[in-house]
Each structure stands twice: as C-alpha cells, then as structure tokens.
Amino acid sequence: MQNWFENKRFFWATMLAPTVWFLAFFVAPMALVWAYSFGENAGPVNIAITGTFGNYAKAFRPEILQVLSDSVVLALIATLICLVLAFPVAIAMTFADDKTKSWLLLLIMLPFWTNLLIRTYALIAMMRTEGFINFTFAFFHNIAVSLGFNLGDYVPMELLYNKSAIVIGLVYVHLPFMVLPLYAALDKLDRSLIEASLDLGAGHLTTMWKIVVPLALPGIAAGLVITFIPAMGAYLTPDLLGGPNDLMIATLIERQFKRANDWPFGSALSFILMYVTLIFFALRTFFEARGGKVSAH
C-alpha cells in the first residue's frame, strides 16, 4: 500500500481540520498559560508578561510546598491502595471464564459512565455523620447495648472532611485506572508459565510472587502512573471530601484563578503540576522499555 503520508494532497485533506483545531484550542491556550506564568498582574484584568520567575519562586514558599507535597503523598497513598485492591480483581478477571469476565469488566467500567459529581455526593451520603456507615455502626452498637454491654451512647465517626476522606474518594474514583492496565498485562501472560511453576514444586503464593508479579511489572508500572497522575491533579474529590485545610494542588490552582485573581501564579502552579506529571510519564516509559525487554520473546 502507498504510504499515505507521502501523498501530500491526501495528507493535508485529512490533517487540515485536526491541525487547525489543535493549534487553536490546544497549543495556543497552553502557550498563553505558559506565557502568563512569567507575567504579573497589571490591573484587575490585565496581565503584563514581564518574564519574571517570581511566580515559580512563590511556589517554593512553605505553605505552597506543603500543598504540593500533600498532593503527592495523598495521591501516592491512594495509588498504592488501588494497586493492592486492583491486583486480586485483575487476577480474578484474568482467570474467570469469558462470560464472568465480561460482567466483571462491565462492573469495573460502570462508575466511569456515571457523573463524577453524583458519585461523589453518593459517597458523602455514605460517609457523613448521619450517613449509612455511621447508621450501620450505630445499629450494631444499639444491639450490643440492648444485650447488656455497657458501651454508652454511640459517638458517630467523623469520616468526612479530612485527609482519609480524600484518599477514600481518590481510590473510589481511580480504581478502574489501575484494574484495566493490570488486567491487560495479566491477560497476556502465558498460563502454562503458572502451571510450569506449580509443576516444578512451587506453591500458589510463591508462583504469584516469583512468576506472575515479575511478569506483570510493566502492567503494574503503567497502572501506577496512569492512576497517580489523575489522582494528583484531582479537583472535585478533594474539594468536596476534604476539610478546609486539606488542599490539593488543583484546588489551589482554582483559587488563584478565581478567588485570588492571581492568574500568573495559577499558571505557574499549573505548569509545575504538568512538569511533575511529565516526570512520572518519563518513569513509566523507562519501566516500559525495561519491561519490554523482559516480556518479548
């Protein structure tokens, strides 16, 4: 077949529209934000691009660094919890028969198709002081009391508006991002490798640890990065579930653009978030290159 990229007329006929679109609505705004990050407020709506690095320097102030490190730590914890929860799920999906497999996939994908806001409010309904979790605990508490245990009044747990609420929310939202790459990696695994390990005398856990996990490493790395990046940039979840002092970077950025009306600083923060993201992407590529060498044969 002729290489379409060598046919200039065909190439431009198909590429013109997307090129214009990308330039106008992706590259130009990004460039604008990038330029703002080197600017200063010159009035309520005017920004003077002065080439200053002051906005980036501001990001190194302790209270901003605190938000940045909180974001990384919370996202990291959520990502690791996702890994621990998703691995058995991915294993189950890999070894289920075809019919069960498609049902499990549907269950994993279903939340994706539900509005994030609705899901988050549902989570709030579960976790608030008068919510279903506290209600359930209170129910068993009262049974215990009526059976004669001297436990006193039920004190509802404070589940919302703190850092653990953010982590629970992040795990809830981002679990599919972890399950799918793990499943993709495990599904490619030659089953006879597992049988060979058992055949040679290894138990099931040893086989999991010495054969399945090492061979799934590229998938694990992909899952970690794909989960971590959106978790770190999450806006709605920490905003709704976190307390007034539990800021993550996306909320901080939002405040610069709105409440603080400091677009240049908000732009600088956005680009810092993007640079951190790029570092993790680079790590992923590195792992993939290494993983590719291991699994190719």
Partner 1 sequence: MPDNSTVNKKSSVVKDETIIKIENLTKRFGKVAAVDDINLEIKRGEFFALLGPSGCGKTTLLRMIAGFEVPTEGKIFLDGVDVSNIPPNKRPVNTVFQSYAVFPHLSVFDNVAYGLQFDNVSKSEQRERVMAALEDVKLEHLAERKPDQMSGGQRQRVALARALVKRPKVLLLDEPLSALDAKLREAMRFELTELQDRVGVTFIMVTHDQDEALAMACRCAVMDRGRLMQLATPSTLYEFPANKFVADFIGSVNMFEGKLILDEPDKAIVEVEELGGKVFFDHGVLGAEGGQIFVGIRPEKIELIKRTKDMKKPQMEDSPEDCNVFAGVIDNISYLGSESIYEITLENGRRMQVSRPNLSRWDQEDFTFNDEVWLGFHGDSPVLLQN
Residues near partner 1 (CB under 8 A) are 190, 192-193, 195-203, 206, 210-211, 214-215, 293-297
Nearest to 247 by CA among 128, 73, 61, 80: 73
Exposure class string for 141-163: b at 16+ Cβ within 10 A, else e: beeeeeeeeeeeebeeeebbbeb
At its nearest, how many Å lie between partner 1 and the CB of residue 52? Answer: 51
At its nearest, how many Å lie between partner 1 and the CB of residue 195? Answer: 6
At its nearest, how many Å lie between partner 1 and the CB of residue 293? Answer: 8
At its nearest, how many Å lie between partner 1 and the CB of residue 37? Answer: 44
* Helix, strand, coil abundance in the chain, percent, nearest 5: 75, 0, 20
Answer yes or no: are the C-beta atoms of 170 and 74 closer than 8 Å. yes
Which residue, 159 or 215, has its beta carbon nearer to partner 1?
215
Specify the length of the chain in residues. Answer: 297
Which residue, 47 or 184, has its beta carbon nearer to partner 1?
184
Answer yes or no: are the C-beta atoms of 59 and 268 closer than 8 Å. yes
104 to each of 84, 180, 187, 202, how far by Cα in Å?
A: 18, 11, 14, 29
Which residue, 204 or 258, has its beta carbon nearer to partner 1?
204
At its nearest, how many Å lie between partner 1 and the CB of residue 197? Answer: 7
Which residue, 193 or 278, has its beta carbon nearer to partner 1?
193
Which residue, 215 or 229, has its beta carbon nearer to partner 1?
215
